Amino acid sequence: MSSDDVPQDPQAPSAGAPSRAAGSEPERGESLPRSLIIDRKSAVHLSASKLRWVLLTVAVGAVIASLVGLFVTGFDNEKGLEAHSPNEPPQTVLDKEFGTAARGDCLSWTKPDRSDLVKVACGNKHLFEVAADIDMGKYPGVEFGPGSRFPDSLRLTELKEEHCVPSVQQYLGGRFDPRGRYVVGLMYPSPDGWKHGDRTLRCGVQYSGSSGTPLTASGSVVEHDQSKVFEPGTCLGINQNLPTDPVDCAQPHAVEIISTVDLSAKFPGGPPSKDEQDRFVEDECTRAATDYLGSPDAVRNKTLTLFFDYLDARSWLAGSRKLDCMIGKGADREGFAPITGSARGEILINGQAPVPPPNSGRSTPAPLPGAAPLPPQPQPR
């Protein structure tokens, strides 16, 4: 049999880009105003903290909320496993392992049609971790009885909300981070499998990219911090001026990860306030930018901006403790400007080499998180 995934839950809106509010050049030590246009028609402005949250959630795939996740998986019946993609004819293969997949099992595959789907040790790279298998045929009523109609996508979405969300919460002891790296997933029978009497739903967690393509994870979600972070040196691609999935830094991208900050040592107790996180993470990211780029002036000279996020109480109580420091180029009211090349070397922004802003001799404040790069300063006459 095969299964088609349903769209994931909305986690964040599409975001525009940071922009510096109109006004005169800030004096020494003055904070730059920060805002984000989410909808140009309604011109809704977000605070700096909300700005950073939207940027991060977009950067790591929160937009999968409106996209398809796993297109194809499948599980066992008398005919074996039938796996197919939406644009390809079905292919029947023998795979008895998936038919026995249960709570705590991890699944992986390499072929586009998922015909080589197997169970693997969760310590190895995998694409889906099963939180529960639910036989809907045991539920009373005729909806899942013999000869019943195959559920449409809306009903499958409802089933995911009704059964998979609480199953994942139970699997994780109530410690699921709704803004972390994982999303709730559903696997279900193909129409042919349904016709042959298979009514098993498999609920679990998956790490998905912005296009809905599953990304590999290592280790069980039960044992790991769910923070949405990437390795330093990772560049996140760009599509319609918004960050997407990791790409080679030689390709156009929106942001480059320069460091990951662990808040657990600084804040060993309950959730720290946003302001407490801001002060600590800003200092850490500023130092990280200097170390990563080799100079305290590199961010300014490359006309880039430093971005970071914060952890809300839900993420903190779920056990998430890590945040990424990122550098990118905000395009005023247009999202991010495309960058090619790692910021550790020569880069192009919108196809042009960045021109360092002139220094008038005054002390110039470093770009603040969420702020647009400083405008060129007038040369002394």
- pLDDT score of 252: 97
* Residue in this structure with the two tokens 């066992």, named with its chain if needed: 76
Domain definitions of the chain by residue range: 65-223, 228-349
Model pLDDT for residues 60-118, shown as the tens digit of each residue: 333 333 222 332 333 333 333 333 333 333 333 334 566 678 999 999 988 876 778 88
Q: In angstroms, rounded to a whole number, what is the distance separating the alpha carbons of residues 240 and 160?
A: 30
Residue 289 or 109, more confident: 289
Sign of the four-CA dihedral 243, 246, 249, 255: positive
- pLDDT score of 369: 54
Task: Judge whether 56 and 49 are in contact, CB under 8 Å.
Answer: no
Residue 329 or 89, more confident: 329
Q: Report residue 231 as tokens.
A: 């390795």
Q: In angstroms, rounded to a whole number, what is the distance separating the alpha carbons of residues 55 and 326?
A: 10
Model pLDDT for residues 346-361, shown as the tens digit of each residue: 999 999 999 998 875 5
Q: Does the pLDDT of residue 32 top 50, yes or no?
A: no
Least confident span in 25-29, 60-64, 163-167, 248-252: 25-29
Report if pTM > 0.95.
no
